Structure 1
Amino acid sequence: MTGSVELSGLRLSNPLMLASGTWGFGETLSPEILRSVGALVTKGISLEPRAGNPPPRLSETPCGLLNSIGLENPGLAAFRKGILPRLLRIGPPVIVNILGESEEEFLRLAEGLRETGVAGLEVNISCPNVKKGGLAFSQDPDGVFRMVRRLREVWPGWMSVKLSPVGPVAEVAHAAEEGGASALTCANTYPALAIHPGPKGPYFHLGGLSGPAIKPLTLRLVYELSRRLRRPLIACGGILSGRDAYEYLLAGARAFQVGTATLLDPEAPRRILSELDELSRAD
C-alpha cells in the first residue's frame, strides 16, 4: 500500500500527501522528507496577501490542536514568483490549495496558475461566499456544483475539492463530483472552541480542530462517502501513524494527507510510510 497510486490521472509515487497549512512552504522540513512524499499540497493561496489573525492562533487540546491562523499567505503573485519555483524543484507533484470569497476569485486563481507546472489544485470550499452573506461554499451544494463546473472551463487539469466535515457533506461531495472534480479531500478541520481563563477574563479561542481527536469522525465520513462516490477520496484527519493511514485506506480512501503529525514530529511522513509498509506486508 506504499507503492505508486493513481488518482484520476494524477500519479503519486506513494499515497502520502503533505496536507495544506501544516508544513508551510517547506521551511521546517528536511529536503529528504519533502522528496519522500507522494505530493505536496501548499498552504491556501488567495489572490491578494492575507496577514491572518492576531495571536494567539493555536491551542492545544486533549488529543488535538485548535488553530485559527486566518488563512495567512503571501498572495498569488508573490507565491508564483518567489515560492512556487522552489517547490517545483523538490520533485513530488505540487498541488496548490486555493481559497476565495467569491466564484470569481477562485476562477482568477485557477487562471493564474495555468502553465506554471503545478500538478493540480485543491479547492478550499470552507471559505465564506461574500455574495451569499458569508455562507460557506461548503454548505451550499448547488453553489459548489456551479463553481466546480465553472472552474472546469478554465482549469482542464487535476482538481480536488476539500470538503468540510460539517453540514450536508454527502450532498456537497456529490455536487463537486458532478461538477467535474477529479477527487475529493475528506476533510477539513472541525469547528471548535478552547477557553483560556485569565486575570482580565477568559479568552475564547474559536478555530478548527485537527489531530487524532477527529480521526474516528473523519474515518466514518470516508467510509460512507467512498460507497457513494465514483471519484477517489483523499483522507485527511488525525493521521499520526501507519496504522491510522492503513485504516483510512481500508475504509475506502485511495490516498491520505498528513498534517498535524508533522508539527509534532518532522520525521513523521517517513515513519508513517515505513509503518504502513510493514502493515500491508503483514496483511
Structure 2
Amino acid sequence: MEVSDLKVSFGGLSMSNPVMTASGTFGFGLEFAPYGDLSRLGGIVAKGISMKPREGNPMPRIAETPCGMLNAIGIQNPGVEAFVKQALPALKRQDVAVVANLYACDAEEFGELAGILSTEDGVAALEVNVSCPNVKEGGAAFGQDPAQIAKVTEAVKKRAGGKPVMLKLSPNVADIATCARAAVEGGADILSLINTLIGMGVDIRNRRPRLANVVGGLSGPAIKPVALRCVHQVCQAVDVPVIGIGGIASAEDALEFIMVGAHAVQVGTANFLRPDFAFTLAEDMAQLLTELCVERLEDFRGSLQLPL
C-alpha cells in the first residue's frame, strides 16, 4: 500500500502537498532554489512585506539557543512595490502556491496592502502578520487583542479581492482560542499558528543581551509542544482550516500537527539548519503514512484519540 495523493485544498487554497515554508525563514523562495526544486513544495510564504521598505532591527539579530533560535529581524523588506516588480514575476514561473505575508501598523494600512496584492495573479493567498513579537510598533499588540485581530482581519478581507485570507496567531496570549474566534468573526478563511514565543538571551561574559533588540522570537524544536497545544485548541474551537507551525524538523513532527487537526504545515527554523529540508518533507510524510497503513492524508487528519 502506498499513499497515492498528498494534494490538499482548503479555505480557497489548493496545493500539491501540505508542506509550506514559514515567512521570514525562506526569503522570497528563489534564494532556496539552489537547494531543491521549488515545485516539490506545496506553498511558499514569502518574507513579510510592508507598504514601504524597512531596514529592520540593529545587529545582532539572531542568537542560537538550545533546540532553537532567537530572532529579532524586525520585518526587514524592500516594500510591496519592489516585491511585486522584482520577486513576484520570477515566483509566478514556479509551479508552487505563493502566499504573501502582510505587515502593517494599523488596520487601514493592512487593508491598503491587501488591495495592492489582491490584483496580482501570482499571489495565491494573503497571510496577515498580526503577531510579530520583535517590532516596536503595532505587531505584538495586534496579536494580543481579539478586538484588534477582528478589525485587521475585516480590513484585509474587504480588500482581498477573493484571495483567501490567513491570520497568523500569536502564542503570547492568555487564550489563543479566543483570538482564533475573533479572526474568524473578522472573516479569516484560514488560520496559521503559531508565531514565535517571546524570549531573550544574555551573555554573562560581556553582560549584554544577545540581541540588540533585547527580546526576540523563540522558534525551533523547543516550541513544538506549545505549538501542538495551540493548534489542537484552535482546531477544537473553530471550523476554519488551520496550518500548523512550530518546531517541525521531521516527517513525524509534521504528521503530529496533521493528527491534531491541521490541514497543512509550515517549516521555519529547520530551513536554517538544512536548506534542503522542506523539499523532501512531503515524500517523507508519504513514506511514514505508508508505514502507518494510512492511504490518504485526510484519513489521518484529526485522528487523535483523546482519553475518555
TM-score range normalised by the length of the shorter chain: over 0.9
Counterpart selection for 1:62 from 47, 62, 66: 66
CA distance in 2: counterparts of 1:185 and 1:254, whole angstroms: 10
Deviation for aligned residue 1:204? 4.6
Query: Residues 119-144 of structure 1, C-alpha deviation per residue, up to 9 Å, x if partnerless?
Result: 1100000158x9x9886111111121
Q: Cα–Cα, structure 1 residues 115 and 24, in superposed 2: closer, same or farther, change >3 Å?
A: same
- Given candidates 152, 157, 162, the residue that maps to 2:157 is 152
- After superposition, residues 150-189 of structure 1 pair within 5 angstroms as 150-155=155-160, 156-167=162-173, 168-189=175-196
Identify which range, 182-191 or 119-128, moves more after superposition: 119-128
Q: When you count strand as a share of all residues, which structure comes out higher?
A: 1
Q: Any residues of structure 2 matched to 1:1-283 within 5 Å, and which?
A: 3-30=6-33, 32-117=36-121, 118-127=123-132, 136-155=141-160, 156-167=162-173, 168-199=175-206, 201-205=207-211, 206-283=215-292
Equivalent position SS for 1:28: helix
Task: Tell me the CA shift for residue 29 of structure 1.
Answer: 1.4
Change (3 A) 1:127 1:188: closer
Amino acid at match of 1:226: C
| Secondary structure at the counterpart of residue 104 of structure 2 | coil
Displacement after TM superposition at 1:272 (Å)? 2.0
Q: How many residues matched?
A: 280
Contact 1:240 1:272 in 2 (8 A): no
Alignment partner of 1:218: what SS? helix
SS of corresponding position for 1:30: helix
Distance 1:133 1:125, change over 3 A: closer
CA drift of 1:278 comes to: 1.4
Give the direction of change, closer, same or farther, for the CA distance of 1:211–1:133 in structure 2 (3 Å limit): closer
Single out whichever of 139-148 and 65-74 deviates more from structure 2: 139-148
1:267 deviates by 1.4
Q: Which structure 1 segments of 5+ residues have no match? A: none
Gapped regions of structure 2 (runs ≥ 5): 293-308
Q: Is the 8 A contact 2:111 2:158 kept in 1?
A: no
Q: Confirm or deny: 8 A CA contact 1:185 1:234 kept in the other structure.
A: yes
1:27 to partner: Cα distance: 4.4
Percent identity for Structure 1 against Structure 2: 43
Any conservation in 1 of the 2:200–2:209 contact (CA below 8 Å)?
Answer: no
Q: Name the aligned partner's letter for residue 139 of structure 1.
A: Q
Partner SS state of residue 160, structure 1 = strand
Runs of 4 or more consecutive aligned structure 1 residues displaced over 3 Å after TM superposition: 132-135
The two structures, once aligned, show a CA RMSD in angstroms of 1.9
Q: In 2, are the aligned partners of 1:239 and 1:261 still within 8 Å (CA)?
A: yes
The TM-score normalised by the length of structure 1 is 0.94
SS at match of 1:90: coil
